[in-house]
Amino acid sequence: MVLAGSARAAVITGCGVVSPLGSTLDAFWDGLIAGRCAFAPIRRFPADDLDPATVAEVAGYDEDADRAGAFALTAAEQALEGAGIRIEQLDPARVGVALGTTLGGMAIFETWDAAVAAGSPTPPGLERVPYYSPAARLADVLGARGPVMTPQLACASGTAAAMLAADWVRAGRADVVLAGGTDLLCRFVVAGFNCLHATADVARPFDRDRRGLVLGEGAAVMVVEEATHAARRGARVRARVLGTGAAADATHMTAPDREGSGVVRAVLAALADAGLDPAAVDFVSAHGTGTPFNDAMEARALERLFGDRAVPVNSIKGAIGHTLGAAGAFEAVMCSAVLGDGTVPPIVGLEHPDPACEALDLVRGESRRHDVRVALSTSSGFAGANAALVLGRA
């Protein structure tokens, strides 16, 4: 194979979001910085038997049955506009899509299942059900004709999408990749997390009183571009992708490794890829779901990585909820803004830090001014999936 080698680098030149805090980059960032919380009772579908029924919904998009695809399309269009890219002016075979999701067109699937059970006519749009569909919709509508893939790493899918994108760009398999994640709320997923006793009415990442996560929805998409390609266009670089890593826990299908060994391996792989050691990391965007096990596992992993060194840590899941396949992408967008702005958003919902997490410098209360040159974002999901991203200042 003729891999392009180390001469190529991946940078982020555009970001777009459809989020529970608003559907522009400014609304998302301003909401995070202000410490706003988007949690409210479920509005969009029957929730009488759902308990808890608190979620973070996106306003609008009611007319499109493929809600996750619609979110992603808007976010991708924002990202392309922000990057100043028109795909039709590029070689379309050099433009790819890497878009994570855990639900795809699940709401359409619910409708189909109900129709089959009732013996009534089945709904249109069944081709939008599969997990690969939102990425395919983006490629189809926006004109990307290069690699198109949907990473399936459960709740680490959004981070894995950025990983795939950066890997393709650096290996010379694409010059521009729309990378991100999208997911929607529906009964399927809310009932599922409820029956696992993983949900709560408020998410309190790293708090001693945390009881569970709050589900959210939305999409975040980045333009990941080859550095020289971006420079030739005179594009503004928002962040550099310095390294990517993934690792399996290889311990349990639903419970995280208590020692955080999978996260540690993923982070060390990403840092090795970046040619950095843990001392270079200035800020960590944690997975931080607010479930008892996840946060304890992560605290342990970060302690193993950073020892006594106080590295500011946040989680945005107390603000926008756990957006599943989009979560890692939202967090990468947030990290890009932190690198550019020098402000770290606080962990919404954190009031009494868990003594078991005392090794962490948790950003709480107000947002914090902090000079960040290197940001680390980690994600973990069911089946022991972990992915890590190391981003650098432009």
Residue whose CB is less far from another protein, 198 or 220:
198
- What does the block give as tokens for 3? 């891999």
Residue type, 320: I
Residue whose CB is less far from another protein, 310 or 383:
383
User: Of these, 9, 33, 171, 280, which contacts another protein (CB under 8 A)?
Assistant: 171
| Footprint of another protein on 375-394 (CB under 8 A) | 381-385
Q: Which stretch binds another protein (CB under 8 A): 46-54, 231-239, 279-287, 334-342?
A: 46-54
Active site residue 322: yes
Residue whose CB is less far from another protein, 117 or 371:
117
User: Of these, 59, 62, 81, 113, which contacts another protein (CB under 8 A)?
Assistant: 113
Strands 54-56 and 215-216, by their bridges, are: parallel
Q: How far is the CB of 301 from another protein (least distance, A)?
A: 14
How far apart (Å, rounded) are the C-alpha atoms in residues 382 and 181? 16
| Footprint of another protein on 174-213 (CB under 8 A) | 187-188, 190-196
Mark 71-110 with x for binding to another protein (rule: CB under 8 A) and - for no binding. Answer: ---------------------xx--xx----x---x--xx
* Residue 294 CB neighbour total at 10 angstroms: 27
Q: How far is the CB of 160 from another protein (least distance, A)?
A: 7
Q: How far is the CB of 115 from another protein (least distance, A)?
A: 9
How far apart (Å, rounded) are the C-alpha atoms in residues 33 and 25? 12
How far apart (Å, rounded) are the C-alpha atoms in residues 33 and 20? 14
**Catalytic residue of the set 37, 186, 229, 322:** 322
Report the candidate in 206, 391, 211 with the shortest Cα–Cα distance to residue 316: 206
Q: How far is the CB of 6 from another protein (least distance, A)?
A: 9
Residue 118 makes CB contacts below 8 A (sequence gap 6+) with none
| Footprint of another protein on 238-267 (CB under 8 A) | 245-254, 261-262, 265
Residue type, 355: P
| Footprint of another protein on 121-160 (CB under 8 A) | 122, 126-127, 129-133, 135-136, 139-140, 144-154, 160
10 binds another protein (CB under 8 A): no
Beta bridge partners of 216: 56
44 binds another protein (CB under 8 A): no
Q: How far is the CB of 57 from another protein (least distance, A)?
A: 18
Residue whose CB is less far from another protein, 133 or 336:
133
| Footprint of another protein on 217-236 (CB under 8 A) | none
Q: Give the 3-state secondary structure of residue 98.
A: strand
| Footprint of another protein on 290-329 (CB under 8 A) | none
Residue 230 makes CB contacts below 8 A (sequence gap 6+) with 11, 13, 237
How far apart (Å, rounded) are the C-alpha atoms in residues 195 and 290? 17
Residue whose CB is less far from another protein, 118 or 371:
118
Active site residue 155: yes
Q: How many residues bind another protein (CB under 8 A)?
A: 77
- Which region holds residue 290: left if phi is over 0, alpha if psi is between -120 and 50, else beta? left
Active site residue 197: no
Sheet holding 374-381, edge to edge: 95-100, 176-183, 218-226, 10-18, 239-248, 385-393, 374-381, 283-285, 312-314, 361-362
Q: Count Cβ atoms within 10 A of the Cβ of residue 253 and give its class: 0-12 exposed, 13-18 middle, 19 or more buried.
A: exposed
Residue whose CB is less far from another protein, 328 or 349:
328
Beta bridge partners of 388: 245, 378
> Integer distance in angstroms from the first to the last C-alpha of the chain?
31
Q: How far is the CB of 61 from another protein (least distance, A)?
A: 22
Buried b (16+ CB within 10 A) or exposed e, 157-191: bbbbbbbbbbbbbbebbbbbbbbbbbbbbbbebbe
Q: How far is the CB of 60 from another protein (least distance, A)?
A: 26
Question: Which one-letter DSSP state was computed for residue 123?
Answer: P
User: Of these, 3, 7, 231, 279, which contacts another protein (CB under 8 A)?
Assistant: 3
Q: How far is the CB of 264 from another protein (least distance, A)?
A: 10
117 binds another protein (CB under 8 A): yes
Phi, psi of 215 (to 5 degrees): -80, 145
Catalytic positions: 155, 287, 322
